[in-house]
């Protein structure tokens, strides 16, 4: 029995892994294992022999079982040590950079414009891109026969045969949001409305979809002087340099008087620099809100007055970021987007300010 004991203790100590150990367990104390067989022989012994051999065999079996358990634990520990040694991770390594998308210049500029006007107390309003004829035209003092309708190259939606209501339009400007805001909140008002507008026009400087930001301020004593201050303040903040403006008398059905506004600029080697020189670049239409427009928005023109303006966002983006071709904005060319796009954390926020 001592031989048996020594043999298994030695074999267990030398087992290389859990599989080898399991084989040894079967061989020694499994159903048909050497020690189990020995225990079966107890039956053939005399009671006296059994009294001596029984406890000895039991003790041997226990000893082998303990040795197996101890070795099993030692092997598991060693395996864990080995894994810890092999599978380490250097958490100080820089991450693998996944390719990130970029913020489109139009989105970027829209955020910039919003941040600047928000600073001056303007809230953001929105309206639908598919607009009724009334909001896009009539309410803005552009009656059915008015030449401005034809000039705007309007996209009309389709009406079913026999349906004689005027078709809806893709809004040709953001001005219908003026009316919607007046209806929704009444006077006083101070809002901007950035968004998409549509006109059937396509060449180097026109795309059938483009972006405007409308501005509207209504109160009891709003003046053209305040319009000029707000716009100059805006351009100076937007371009990061003092920008002079020039107001030219113009005509819009929904403002009276009306002015087109140019910003000071200079042409240098085929590109334009804003805020210096003595050239001028037209960037927006504006004026004092026409009394008929206030009326259409349920605001009493005898009590309230205001200014409105509409700026081309795409034009602003081209000027500020030196982007030469308008059409490329909407081509979705990845190379262009990566070149002119912005990292998401550069986007201005109300709390973070303009610089990225």
- List contacts with ligand PHE (CB under 6 A): 173, 175, 252, 255, 285-287, 308-310
Nearest approach in angstroms of CB 255 to ligand PHE is 5
- Distance, CA of 233 to CA of 271 (rounded, Å): 24
Residues 6+ apart with CB under 8 A from 133: 166, 167, 168, 169
CA angle (133 as vertex; 127, 137 as ends), nearest 5: 85
The residue (of 81 and 201) whose beta carbon lies closer to ligand PHE is: 201
32 within 8 A of 88, measured Cβ to Cβ? no
Nearest approach in angstroms of CB 214 to ligand PHE is 6
The residue (of 15 and 283) whose beta carbon lies closer to ligand PHE is: 283
Nearest approach in angstroms of CB 165 to ligand PHE is 24
* CB-neighbour burial class of residue 20 (10 A; exposed 0-12, middle 13-18, buried 19+): middle
263 within 8 A of 245, measured Cβ to Cβ? yes
Q: What is the DSSP letter of 232?
A: H
The residue (of 312 and 348) whose beta carbon lies closer to ligand PHE is: 312
331 within 8 A of 314, measured Cβ to Cβ? no
Nearest approach in angstroms of CB 321 to ligand PHE is 22
Helix axes 34-41, 47-86, angle to 10 degrees: 170
324-345 burial, b for 16+ CB within 10 Å, e for fewer?
eebebbeeeeeebbeebbbeee
The residue (of 265 and 284) whose beta carbon lies closer to ligand PHE is: 284
Nearest approach in angstroms of CB 297 to ligand PHE is 14
Locus of tokens 């030469």: 324
The residue (of 102 and 110) whose beta carbon lies closer to ligand PHE is: 110
Instruction: Note the helical H segments in 87-121.
Output: 105-119
The residue (of 33 and 195) whose beta carbon lies closer to ligand PHE is: 195
Hey, what are 11's tokens? Answer: 């074999």
The residue (of 141 and 255) whose beta carbon lies closer to ligand PHE is: 255
Nearest approach in angstroms of CB 280 to ligand PHE is 18
């Amino acid at each position: 029995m001592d031989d048996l004991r020594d043999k298994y203790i030695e074999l267990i100590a030398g087992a290389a892994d859990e599989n080898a150990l399991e084989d040894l367990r079967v061989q020694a104390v499994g159903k048909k294992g050497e020690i189990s067989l020995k225990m079966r022989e107890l039956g053939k012994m005399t009671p006296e022999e059994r009294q001596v051999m029984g406890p000895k065999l039991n003790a041997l079996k226990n000893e082998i079982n303990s040795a197996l358990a101890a070795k099993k634990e030692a092997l598991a520990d060693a395996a864990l040590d080995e894994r810890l040694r092999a599978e380490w991770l250097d958490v100080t390594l820089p991450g693998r950079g996944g390719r990130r998308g970029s913020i489109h210049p139009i989105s970027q500029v829209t955020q910039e414009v919003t941040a600047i006007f928000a600073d001056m107390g303007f809230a953001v309003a929105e309206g639908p891109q598919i607009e009724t004829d009334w909001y896009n035209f009539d309410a803005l003092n552009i009656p059915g026969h008015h030449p401005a309708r034809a000039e705007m190259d309007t996209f009309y939606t389709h009406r079913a045969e026999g349906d004689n209501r005027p078709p809806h339009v893709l809004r040709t400007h953001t001005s219908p949001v003026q009316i919607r805001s007046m209806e929704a909140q009444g006077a006083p008002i101070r809002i901007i409305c950035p968004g998409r507008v549509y006109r059937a026009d396509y060449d180097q400087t026109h795309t059938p979809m483009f972006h405007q930001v409308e501005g509207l301020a209504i109160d009891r004593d709003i003046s053209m002087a305040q319009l000029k201050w707000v716009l100059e303040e805006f351009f100076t903040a937007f371009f990061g340099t003092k920008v002079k403006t020039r107001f030219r008398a113009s005509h819009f059905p929904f403002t009276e008087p009306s002015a087109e506004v140019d910003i000071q600029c200079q042409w240098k080697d085929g590109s334009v620099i804003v805020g210096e020189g003595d050239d001028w670049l037209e960037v927006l239409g504006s004026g004092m809100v026409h009394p008929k427009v206030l009326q259409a928005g349920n605001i009493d023109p005898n009590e309230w007055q205001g200014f409105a303006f509409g700026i081309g966002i795409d034009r602003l983006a081209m000027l500020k970021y030196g982007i030469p071709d308008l059409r490329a904005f909407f081509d979705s060319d990845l190379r262009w987007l990566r070149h002119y796009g912005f990292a998401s954390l550069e986007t201005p926020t109300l709390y973070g300010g303009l610089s990225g």
